[in-house]
Amino acid sequence: MPNINTGGVRAFSAPGKALLAGGYLVLEPKYGSYVVALSSRMHAVVRRVEAPKASPSSFVVNVRSSQFNGDEWEYELEASTNYQPIQQGLSKNPFIEKVLLTVFNYFQPDLTEQENISIEIYSDPGYHSQAETKVKSNGVKSFLFHSKSIVDVPKTGLGSSAGLVTVLVTAFISCFKPDLDVSSYDGMRLIHNLAQVAHCQAQGKIGSGFDVAAAVYGSITYNRFEPSLIEQLPDTSSSEYHSSLVSLIDKTDWKIKASRVSLPPRLRLIMGDVNNGSETTKLVAKVSEWYKAHYPVSLEIYNTIDNANTRFVDSLRELTVLCDKDTPAYEALIETINDKGREVHPLLQKIITSVNVIRENFRTITKQSGADIEPEVQTALLDAATDLPGVLTGIVPGAGGYDAICLITTDSCNIANETNHDPAFSTVNWLDLSQQDLGIIEEKPNNYENLS
Ligand SMILES: Nc1ncnc2c1ncn2[C@@H]1O[C@H](COP(=O)(O)OP(=O)(O)OP(=O)(O)O)[C@@H](O)[C@H]1O
Ligand SMILES: C[C@@](O)(CCOP(=O)(O)O)CC(=O)O
C-alpha cells in the first residue's frame, strides 16, 4: 500500500499479543509457537519540525506520550558519537533510546541536512490498567488519559514495549526511507530486524522475540532466531557497529519462521486480566534451572508439550478448512460449543485434549520447578471457565503466572454476562479485545487530531 502521507506527517500502529502455545519452548529455535495479535494497538504519529535549529549540526528528537500525565522524552543526537542519544531533561525511556541508537546507526543520516523529528505516541486501552482515566475521542479514535506517568501505571502484559519499539522504528524508517511500504515483505523484514535489535538492547536480554514478531507480522506461528545473531554485534560505540548492523539487518538470514494464521471463523479470543503479579524473568530462570536439573526427563516433557502445541495449531487450521468445505456442518459444530450437553465433534475434542496435555505438563513443571506457570488459582479459574457454555478451551498465556487467562469462545458467548454474579470470577477483568490478523499498518494521520 502506498504511504498515507499528509503534509509530511505519517502515522502507524502495531498490535499487542497473546502467546497461546509455545511459552518457554519458543525460547529455542526448534520449537514453534502460536501468537495471536490483539486489537489493542500502539500508535505513532511522526512529523518533521521546521523550527529553526540552535546550530546546523544540532538535531533533536522529541517523543510525547501525552496520555500518561504528559510524559515526554527529548534527545539530541550527533553522528560523531555513533548517534548515542543524549537525554535532555530527567525522563528516561530505554526503549525510545535504543530505537534511536539502532535506526540512526543503520541509516547514518547526515544530521546537518535533517529537520528535527517529533513523534506523538498513543496506546489503546488494553495495555494498561484503566483506573483513574479520562476518555478523549475525536469520533474516529478514543484513548484513555491517565493521571500518572507511564512507569507508574500497571500494565496488563500485552507487550506494550514491543508495540512501542515497532511503531517507533517504523516511524523513523519512514523519515529516512519515504517509500517505506509497511505491507511489503521487504518493509516488514526491515522493521522486524531493526525492532528486534532495539528491543533486546533495551531489555538487556534476548527473549524469544515473539512479541516483536507479532507486532510486525500479526497473528502468526513463530520460530525464533538464534540469540547469537544479536549477541555477536560489536559494542554500539565501536567503529564497526554500523557495518555489522547493516550486515545483520540486510544480509543475514535470521531463519525465523513467521506464517500468518487466523482463528477459525466464529471463534474468538477472550483475555481476562487477573492482576500483574508475575515476573517473567524470574519464571524463565526457574524453568531453565529445572530443565537442566531434570534432563533428559525435562526434554521429554518439552517434546510432549511441543506435540500437543502442534496438534492444537493443526486442529485450528482443520477447523477453518472444514468451515470452507462444509459451512452447515461447521455451524452445527459451533453450536455444540454453545450447548455443552451435545456430543463434541472430534476436531473440537482434539483441541480440548491438546490444551489439556499442555496444561497438565506445565502443572508438572510448576510443581517441580517452583515457577508458578499454572498455579492452583489459575487452574481453578480455567476449569470453571471451560465448563461454561460457549467456551471451547482456555490457557494461561505467555509465561503464565498470576497475570491473565485466555479463553477461546464462540462469537455468541457473552463471557461478562456468564460470569457476572459468579464469585469464582470476581478477580477477573475481561478485556475488550479481539484477535487481529495484521501486524504493523499505516494509519491516516488526521485520525489522531482534535482528541477531546
Ligand atoms: N505508551 C507508551 N509510551 C511510552 N513508553 C511506553 C509506552 N508503553 C510502554 N512503554 C515503555 O515500555 C515499558 C514497559 O515495557 P515492559 O516490557 O515492561 O512491559 P510490556 O511490554 O507491556 O509487558 P510484557 O513484556 O509483560 O508483555 C514502559 O516502562 C515504558 O518504558
Ligand atoms: C516465557 C516466554 O516464552 C514467554 C513470555 O511471554 P509473556 O511476556 O508472558 O507474554 C519468554 C519469551 O518467549 O521471551
Nearest CA to ligand 2 atom 13: 208
Cα(163) to ligand 1 centroid in Å equals: 8
Q: 3-state secondary structure string, the chain?
A: CCCCCECCEEEEEEEEEEEEECCCHHHCCCCCEEEEEEEEEEEEEEEEECCCCCCCCCCEEEEEECCECCEEEEEECCHHHCCCCEEECCCCCHHHHHHHHHHHHHHCCCHHHCCEEEEEEEECHHHECCCCEEEEECCCCEEEEECCCHHHCCECCCCHHHHHHHHHHHHHHHHHCCCCCCCCHHHHHHHHHHHHHHHHHHHCCCCCCHHHHHHHHCCEEEECCCCHHHHCCCCCCCCCHHHHHHHHHHCCCCCCEEEECCCCCCEEEEEEECCCCCCHHHHHHHHHHHHHHCCCHHHHHHHHHHHHHHHHHHHHHHHHHHHHHCHHHHHHHHHHHHCCCCCCCHHHHHHHHHHHHHHHHHHHHHHHHCCCCCCHHHHHHHHHHHCCCCEEEEECCCCCCCCEEEEEEECCCCHHHHHCCCHHHCCCEECCCCEECCCCEEECHHHHCCCC
pLDDT for the residue numbered 7: 59
pLDDT for the residue numbered 3: 44
Reference 25, options 35, 12, 16, 17; nearest CA is 35
The grid coordinates listed for 105 are 546507526
What is the position in ligand 2's atom list of the atom closest to the CA of 284? 1
Cα(398) to ligand 2 centroid in Å equals: 5
Closest listed ligand to the CA of 123: 1
pLDDT for the residue numbered 342: 81
Q: Give yes or no for residue 356 CB within 6 A of ligand 2.
A: no
Q: Give yes or no for residue 276 CB within 6 A of ligand 2.
A: no
Fold classification of 267-436 (topology level): Alpha-Beta Plaits (3.30.70)
The grid coordinates listed for 48 are 518533521
pLDDT for the residue numbered 145: 98
What is the position in ligand 2's atom list of the atom closest to the CA of 283? 1
Nearest CA to ligand 1 atom 17: 161
Query: Does the predicted interface ipTM exceed a cut of 0.95?
Result: yes
The grid coordinates listed for 262 are 487466523
pLDDT for the residue numbered 38: 98
Decide: 68 and 125 in contact? Cβ < 8 Å. Answer: no
**Residue 387: CA atoms inside 13 Å, Cβ hemisphere, count?**
10
Cα(399) to ligand 2 centroid in Å equals: 5
Low-confidence ranges of the chain (pLDDT < 50): 1-5
Q: Out of 128, 153, 164, 169, give the residue to mutate to test ligand 1, the one with the largest number of ligand atoms within 8 Å of its CB.
A: 164
> Which residue has cell 530505537?
99
CATH classification number, 10-260+437-448, choose in 3.30.230.10, 3.90.1150.10, 3.40.50.150, 2.70.70.10:
3.30.230.10
Fold matches, 10-260+437-448 and 267-436 = no
Nearest CA to ligand 1 atom 26: 157
- Break the chain into its structural domains and give their ranges: 10-260+437-448, 267-436
Reference 122, options 106, 108, 141; nearest CA is 141
